[in-house]
């Protein structure tokens, strides 16, 4: 079975962005390096069109899949598939893992599906006061902390397993 995971960077007060158009330039070099390593291992990244538009280019060396009802993009496949359907299609194409890369609407839809196995969360030593949370609907899962690493600059690199 394909292993889907969420990967996200959070402020210490729990936000993924100040607003919907706020790009994730504020994350540490260690977070960016982990993001590249883990998403390249998966080979496929999934995101909403708002997040995709915050990137300068499609993420290289990975299949980019973008959720949109309205638009298509160069360098990416567009989809409207439910999570289970998308995972089945990716599994048939030989992928062993799939990285769910945001933003809020996509993280929420996939976490609600109950199919997410892991969360790679980075907690950066920065606060925004208000902004977008990672999820915005009623969700109730228990997690197990599998690994933790603290960088010299105080970034926490956390890996959680979703308990089923």
Ligand X SMILES: NC(=O)c1ccc[n+]([C@@H]2O[C@H](COP(=O)([O-])OP(=O)(O)OC[C@H]3O[C@@H](n4cnc5c(N)ncnc54)[C@H](OP(=O)(O)O)[C@@H]3O)[C@@H](O)[C@H]2O)c1
Task: Give the interface with ligand X as residue ranges (CB under 6 A).
Answer: 8-9, 16-17, 20-24, 47-51, 54, 67-71, 80, 101-106, 109, 132
Nearer to ligand X, 24 or 76 (CB): 24
SS3 annotation, 43-85: CEEEEEHHHHHHCCCCCCCCEEEEECCCCCCCCCEEECCCHHH
Nearer to ligand X, 9 or 119 (CB): 9
- Residue 151 backbone phi and psi in degrees, to 5: -85, 165
Minimum distance of ligand X from residue 18's CB (angstroms) = 7
Minimum distance of ligand X from residue 37's CB (angstroms) = 15
Distance (Å, whole) CA 123 – CA 149: 11
Nearer to ligand X, 136 or 147 (CB): 136
């Amino acid at each position: 079975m394909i292993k889907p995971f969420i990967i996200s960077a959070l402020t210490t007060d729990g936000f993924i962005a100040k607003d919907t158009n706020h790009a994730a330039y504020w994350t540490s070099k260690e977070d960016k390096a982990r993001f590249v390593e883990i998403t390249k291992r998966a080979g496929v990244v999934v995101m909403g069109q708002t997040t995709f538009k915050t990137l300068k280019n499609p993420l290289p060396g990975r299949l980019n899949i973008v959720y949109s009802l309205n638009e298509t993009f160069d360098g990416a496949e567009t989809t409207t598939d439910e999570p289970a359907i998308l995972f089945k299609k990716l599994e048939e194409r030989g992928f062993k893992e799939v990285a769910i890369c945001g933003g809020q609407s996509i993280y929420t839809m996939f976490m609600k599906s109950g199919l997410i196995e892991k969360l790679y969360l980075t907690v950066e030593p920065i606060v925004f006061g208000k902004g977008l949370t990672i999820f915005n609907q009623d969700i109730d899962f228990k997690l197990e902390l599998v690994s933790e690493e603290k960088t010299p600059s105080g970034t926490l690199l956390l890996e959680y397993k979703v308990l089923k």
